[in-house]
């Protein structure tokens, strides 16, 4: 087959954070697939077919991309942020695993600025020491496992970045996560809420865990919890490089 | 003061992974400071002074940047990858903390594609589920803490990205880290070595922990350990989105 698939990260929203590598792939593509708001970020042009699809159909979308590549199309699967961090790259490989001769597909993963990096940059440097990234959605894993990870991450002294902290379908879980973090990290630990970073809707706030409420986050928010050494300097929040 | 500081991430090496935001800052700068090989990536031009400095002088370099901004210079502090991940952003805030009236400085952090994202993209999607990032250098933290974090991260089921896995001054520690990981994650766990990713010197390899040797890493290598579900498909390594 002459078709290919590029799974591309569009970054957090600002066009100045899209890489040339991703722009080149989009310029060569015949088809773009992805979640509706991400496909909306791709400029229409003659010869390019846009295939927006809804949330939670990642495997169908990945299968569609494989089918089109097998039919010699040049397909870009778009994610926001980075495609490898809680995004479409893993879904594509899950779909690929179910196909005969996976080696015949020409696949590239094109990295992007993932939300936690953009959020950390706006806030200062809260991820300047060892850290972890946890997806707080329990769509694909049991909530018990998430609670266990929060406790172990706190014990390890990691700063933590939380993706998908809260949705309408599970409003109580983020409250429970905050309770666990208060219990394990103490009320004075700093926590930052970075919403829609680098877009016109951007908002940033940093509070202590004692002050944090579940309503401070929604599905467009990345939440970053500092480690025990994280502190403010000027308008910034940062984590020192030395042991935390 | 009219001067400013931008702490900018140049990405892993490929010019197609430098953001326009970073290019704009470099185009407006009067001075660039950074570790010698990173400053070497900035094209000289009239009106721009390059200040390359050696490794391990991060605080001096940050202080120099603050002094120049206070003297109305437009200063870009360059890091490879992302400045907020084991790089210059935290060092700058440490230096800023020691200054009177830190609010008077105009500082921006400009994100970049950090090494683990570029490495993960080349390998497939090994960071597709919850993961942690650990700097294996003990320059700024005790080795005991690193060992403790490795054990807790293994218990939490995180995939793991390791920065600075090995240097000439501490050749035995990475061997010890591999021993701990074999003990906690088992010999069949997949581990990937991604060296000089996106540069002409790039090399990639994935082996089991049983097969891994310390010599597979050097200071230009990012090491990515999968979680219990991480597997191969075609030429790729990926971690499924569901519980691992």
**Do residue B133 and residue A131 have CB atoms under 8 angstroms apart?**
yes
Q: Which of A18, A104, A132 to mutate to test the interface with B (most CBs of B within 10 A)?
A: A132
Place of tokens 């599905």: A219
From chain A, the residues in CB contact with B103 under 8 A are 234-235
**Do residue B84 and residue A122 have CB atoms under 8 angstroms apart?**
no
pTM: 0.97
Cα-based distances in Å from A85 to A180, A188, B43, B214: 24, 29, 32, 27
3-class SS at B64? helix
Domains of chain A: 4-113 (3.40.1010.10), 116-238 (3.30.950.10)
Reference B65, options B101, B43, B94, B23; nearest CA is: B94
Neighbours of A188 (CB within 10 A): 10
Chain-centroid distance of CA B95 in Å reads 20
CA-to-CA distance for A132 and A115, rounded, in angstroms?
Answer: 14
Please give the share of chain A, as a percent, with pLDDT higher than 70.
100
The 10s digit of each residue's pLDDT in B140-155 is 899 999 999 999 999 9
Cα three-residue angle B88-B93-B99, rounded to 5 degrees: 130
Q: At what angle do helices A143-156 and B143-156 cross, to 10 degrees?
A: 180
Provide the shortest C-alpha distance from residue A123 to chain B (in Å).
Answer: 9
Structure tokens at B236: 């790729």
Chain-centroid distance of CA A164 in Å reads 8
Give A43-52 contacts, CB < 8 A, sequence gap 24+: none
Q: Which of B20, B92, B130 to mutate to test the interface with A (most CBs of A within 10 A)?
A: B130
Cα-based distances in Å from B244 to A149, B55, B226, B227, B241: 11, 37, 9, 6, 8
- When CB atoms are compared, the residue of B90, B114, B142 closest to A128 is B90
Q: For residue A172, what pLDDT is reported?
A: 86
**Do residue A93 and residue B238 have CB atoms under 8 angstroms apart?**
yes
Q: Provide the residue-wise pLDDT of chain B in tens; the chain has 244 residues.
A: 899 999 999 999 999 999 999 999 999 999 999 999 999 999 999 999 999 999 889 999 999 999 999 999 999 999 999 999 999 999 999 999 999 999 999 999 999 999 999 999 999 999 999 999 999 998 889 999 999 999 999 999 999 999 999 887 777 899 999 999 999 999 999 999 999 999 999 999 999 999 999 999 998 999 999 999 999 999 999 999 997 5
- When CB atoms are compared, the residue of A20, A118, A240 closest to B94 is A240
DSSP state at residue A102: G
From chain B, the residues in CB contact with A21 under 8 A are 14, 16-17
pLDDT band at A244 (very low <50, low <70, confident <90, very high): low
DSSP assignments along B99-143, one per residue: SS-GGGS-EEEE----HHHHHHHHHEETTSSSEEEEE---SSS-H
Q: What is the mean pLDDT of chain A?
A: 96
**Do residue B128 and residue A152 have CB atoms under 8 angstroms apart?**
no
DSSP assignments along B69-95, one per residue: HHTT-EEEEEESB-TTSSSHHHHHHHH
Structure tokens at A32: 């773009």
- When CB atoms are compared, the residue of A107, A135, A238 closest to B90 is A238
């Amino acid at each position: 087959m002459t078709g290919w698939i590029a799974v591309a990260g569009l970054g957090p929203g600002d066009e100045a954070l899209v890489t040339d590598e991703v722009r080149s792939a989009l310029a060569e593509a015949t088809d773009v697939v992805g979640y509706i708001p991400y496909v909306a970020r791709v400029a229409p042009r003659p010869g390019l077919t846009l295939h927006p699809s809804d949330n939670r159909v990642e495997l169908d979308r990945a299968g569609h991309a494989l089918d089109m590549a097998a039919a010699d199309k040049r397909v870009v699967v778009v994610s926001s942020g980075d495609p490898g961090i809680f995004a479409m790259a893993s879904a594509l490989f899950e779909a690929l695993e179910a196909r005969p001769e996976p080696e015949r597909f020409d696949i590239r993963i094109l990295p992007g600025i993932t939300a936690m990096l953009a959020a950390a940059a706006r806030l200062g440097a809260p991820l300047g020491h060892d850290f972890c990234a946890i997806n707080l959605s329990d769509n694909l894993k049991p909530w018990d496992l998430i609670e266990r990870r929060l406790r172990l991450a706190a014990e390890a002294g990691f700063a933590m970045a939380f993706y998908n902290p809260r949705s309408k379908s599970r409003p109580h879980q983020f409250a429970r996560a905050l309770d666990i973090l208060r219990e394990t990290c103490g009320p004075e630990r700093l926590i930052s809420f970075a919403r829609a970073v680098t877009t016109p809707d951007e908002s940033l706030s940093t509070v202590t865990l004692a002050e944090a409420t579940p309503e401070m986050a929604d599905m467009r928010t990345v939440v970053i919890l500092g480690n025990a050494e994280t502190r403010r300097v000027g308008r910034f929040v940062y984590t020192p490089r030395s042991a935390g």
